[in-house]
Chains A and B, each alone.
Chain A
C-alpha cells in the first residue's frame, strides 16, 4: 500500500469520493441560489431554510401520511415549491425595485422565522429518517466501504445539475428566462408574461433546495439547523463560481467539496474555514469569480 504525504492512498481516495458527495449537495444548493440570483437579483438567504423544509416535509409525509421516500422525492419539492410561489407573489415581489440589501434582509428574516417555527415544534436534536430499503447496505470498493445511498446521492446530484444547466442554456424556456433577465420590458412587449416567469423561477430554485433536503434527510438527522449549517458555505461557493453562473456553481460546488474533504484528512480543525480561504484567494485574483463575467 503506497501513501501520499503520509496518508495511505486508499484512505485518500475514499476522502476524495466523500468530498464529491458533499460537493453534490453544495452544487445542488448553489445551483438554486445562482438561478435565483441570476434571474431575480434576489440574494435568497432563506435558501437554507427551504433545504431544511424539504427534509421536514419528507419526514412529515412519512410520519403523518405514510408516504415513503420515493414519493417524497418529487412531492416534497413540489410542496415547498408552491410555498416558494406564494412567498414570491405575496412578499418578495414587492422588493424588486429596491436595493439588493432589502431582499437580503427580508429573506434572512424569513429564514430565522421558519427555523424558529420548526425548532419550536420539533426541537433541535433532529428526527430520525431511515435510508430507503432499496438503497440500504454498502459496497466494498476496495479502497473504501461506500454506502449505496451516498453513491445514489452523487449520481442524482450530477443528473439534476446537468438537467438544470441544459434547461437554462439550451431550451426555449431557458432563453426566455435569460432574455427576461437582460431586458424585461422588451420581453414583455413580445407578449411574454414576465412576472409569472420570475415567480416560477423562484419556485423552481426553491424546489431544487427542497429536493436536496429530501436527499439529505436520511444522511443527516432532520433538524431545523441543517440549512443554516450549509448556507454560508454555499454562498461562498456561489461567489467563487461567479455570480449567477450556473456552470460555475456546479463546478465550484463539486470542487470545493473535494478541497474540504482533503482538509479533513490533513488538518480537520480548518475544514470549516478552508472554503473561505479559497474565496479570498479567488476574489484577489479573479474578482468576478472563476466563471463569472466581469460587470
Chain B
C-alpha cells in the first residue's frame, strides 16, 4: 500500500482536465481565398452527440451536394469540431476558425450556453451564424444579432406547443426537473408562464447539475411527494432518456403525465417504443411527413445507417442550402466580407428545401418553421423501423414562435 497521495490527487485532477485533450480537428492555416468554409460546431462526444454530432455534419455535406455547389462554381469546404458542451471551448474554437482557418459561417451549436457564447463571437467578428441545435429563445430575443439566424425550434415554441397541449389535456399542476443551465432555466420559465397563465399551478422544481447527473430517482421521489399531475422535463438528450426510464421504474407514469418538453426522434429510438409510447412531443421535422422529407431522410440514412435525421440535423441541411443560395445570389466576395450582409440576404429570401418546405425568416433571425405536435406510437401501431410519430396538431410558423414585439430584440424597430 505504498501509493502516494500526491499521485492519487493527480489522478483526480486529471479527470477534471480530461476533455481538454480531445482537441478539435482543423486543417492547416490558410489565407482567405474564394473558397467558402462552413464550420459545424457541436457535441460529438457527450449527451447531445446523437441529437446533433456527426449526423449534422453529414446533413451539411448533403446540402452542399444537393445545392449543386460544384456546378454553380462554388468551392465549399466543411470543418467540424466538438465543443464538449462548454462555452469557453466553443468560443475558443470559433475564434480559431475565424482568425486562423478562414471559416465564413458556423452552423448547429447545440447547448444554449455554448450557442450564446458563439453568437457573440460571430457578432464581434462579423461572420454568419446559423444556430440550429440550441434551444434558448434569447438568440432571437435580447441577445439577438445581425449575424444570427435561429433555425429549427426554441424554448418558447416548445413551451407553447407541448406545454400548452398538456395543460389543455387537464394537466394543471406541474413539477419541473430542470437541467441547471440556460436552456433548462429558459424552458422551465417559459413553460411555467404558460401553465400559470392557463390557470394551472407549479408545485416545485428540482434543478440538477448538467451534464454530470445520471440518477434522477431522488428528484422523481420529490416530484411524487408533491402529487403533481405533470412531470415537466426541462432537459434534453440522454438526460431526458434517463429521466423517463427512471420515472417508469418508480411508477410515476400511472398517475403522473410526463411532458418531455424537448424530445427528438433519436431519443425515442433510444428509449424504445415500449417505454416511450404515448409521450407527446414537438418537433418541426419528421422524416415521414411527405415525399420530399422521405426522400431527404433516405439520402441521409444511406450515409448513417443507424440513424434517422431529427429536426436539428434537418435544420443543418436546410440552413446550409439557404446560406449557399444567398451566397450564389450576392457573390462569394461580398458574403465573405460581411457575415451580417450574408445573413441580411438570407432574411430577404424565402427558404425552400426538402426538409421544411417554404418558410420565412423574421427580422430578429427567427426562421418561422411550422411546429408539429406528435404522439409516440405504440409498438403495435409502428409498421416499420423509425415509424414512431402520429401527428396531432400543426401550428403554422407565424403562430408557433414568440411574437416579435415580446422578444425585445434590439434589431426590431417597433
- A: residues with CB less than 8 A from B are 8, 10-11, 14-15, 18-19, 21-22, 37-38, 41, 43, 45, 99-101, 104, 108, 112, 115-116, 119, 123-128, 130-131, 138, 144-145, 147, 149-150, 181, 219-221, 223, 225-226, 228-232, 235-236, 238-239, 243-245, 261, 264-265, 268-273, 279, 283, 287-288, 293, 295
User: Closest A-chain residue to B6, C-beta based?
Assistant: A100
**Chain A neighbourhood of B49, CB < 8 A:** 119, 123-125
B131 interfacial contact with A, CB 8 Å: no
Q: Are B5 and A124 in contact (CB under 8 A)?
A: no
User: Closest A-chain residue to B272, C-beta based?
Assistant: A128
Which of B215-223, B319-327, B389-397 lines the interface with chain A? Answer: B215-223
Select one of B5, B212, B219, B270 contacting A128, CB under 8 A: B270
Q: Are A221 and B3 in contact (CB under 8 A)?
A: no
Q: A272 to B251, alpha carbons, bound, how many Å?
A: 26
Q: Are A268 and B219 in contact (CB under 8 A)?
A: yes
Q: Take A43-B8, A221-B242, A271-B209 as given contacts and tell me if A125 and B267 are in contact as well, using a CB distance cutoff of 8 Å.
A: yes
User: Closest B-chain residue to A230, C-beta based?
Assistant: B214
Q: Are A144 and B14 in contact (CB under 8 A)?
A: no
Q: Take A220-B215, A221-B245, A272-B213 as given contacts and tell me if A232 and B225 are in contact as well, using a CB distance cutoff of 8 Å.
A: no
**Chain A neighbourhood of B51, CB < 8 A:** 125
Looking at A125, A181, A231, A288, the one whose CB has the most chain B CB atoms below 10 A away is A125
- B: residues with CB less than 8 A from A are 1-5, 7-12, 14-16, 18, 21-22, 45-51, 53, 180, 206-209, 212-215, 217-219, 221-222, 224-225, 237-238, 241-242, 245-246, 249-251, 266-267, 269-272, 274-275, 306-307
Select one of A104, A229, A243, A261 contacting B5, CB under 8 A: A243
Q: A265 to B321, alpha carbons, bound, how many Å?
A: 48
User: Closest B-chain residue to A235, C-beta based?
Assistant: B12
- Interface SS of B by simple majority: helix
User: Closest B-chain residue to A245, C-beta based?
Assistant: B1
User: Closest A-chain residue to B208, C-beta based?
Assistant: A268
Inter-chain CB contacts under 8 Å: number: 180
Report A136 CB to chain B, min CB distance, Å: 9
Select one of B208, B238, B274, B307 contacting A271, CB under 8 A: B208
Q: A226 to B46, alpha carbons, bound, how many Å?
A: 10
Report B174 CB to chain A, min CB distance, Å: 17
Q: Are A126 and B238 in contact (CB under 8 A)?
A: yes
Select one of A37, A108, A145 contacting B3, CB under 8 A: A37
Q: Take A104-B11, A236-B12, A287-B5 as given contacts and tell me if A138 and B218 are in contact as well, using a CB distance cutoff of 8 Å.
A: no
**Chain A neighbourhood of B212, CB < 8 A:** 229, 272
Q: Take A149-B249, A243-B8 as given contacts and tell me if A144 and B209 are in contact as well, using a CB distance cutoff of 8 Å.
A: no
Q: Are B8 and A45 in contact (CB under 8 A)?
A: no
**Chain B neighbourhood of A127, CB < 8 A:** 270
Q: Are A238 and B270 in contact (CB under 8 A)?
A: no
Q: Take A128-B275, A229-B212 as given contacts and tell me if A104 and B14 are in contact as well, using a CB distance cutoff of 8 Å.
A: yes
Q: A93 to B45, alpha carbons, bound, how many Å?
A: 30
Q: Take A125-B266, A128-B271, A239-B9 as given contacts and tell me if A265 and B222 are in contact as well, using a CB distance cutoff of 8 Å.
A: yes
Q: Are A124 and B50 in contact (CB under 8 A)?
A: yes
**Chain A neighbourhood of B209, CB < 8 A:** 268-273
Q: Take A43-B8, A238-B8, A269-B208 as given contacts and tell me if A108 and B221 are in contact as well, using a CB distance cutoff of 8 Å.
A: no
Report A264 CB to chain B, min CB distance, Å: 4
Report A18 CB to chain B, min CB distance, Å: 5
Q: Are B45 and A144 in contact (CB under 8 A)?
A: no
Report A19 CB to chain B, min CB distance, Å: 8
Q: Take A11-B222, A18-B218, A264-B218 as given contacts and tell me if A43 and B249 are in contact as well, using a CB distance cutoff of 8 Å.
A: no
Beyond A38-B1, A229-B212, A268-B207, 12 additional pairs, beta carbon < 8 A: A18-B217, A99-B7, A101-B10, A126-B270, A128-B275, A145-B250, A220-B214, A229-B214, A232-B16, A236-B12, A244-B1, A287-B5
Q: A38 to B2, alpha carbons, bound, how many Å?
A: 8
Q: Are A100 and B3 in contact (CB under 8 A)?
A: yes
Which 3 pairs show the lowest CB-CB distances between chains A and B?
Answer: A125-B270, A124-B49, A100-B7
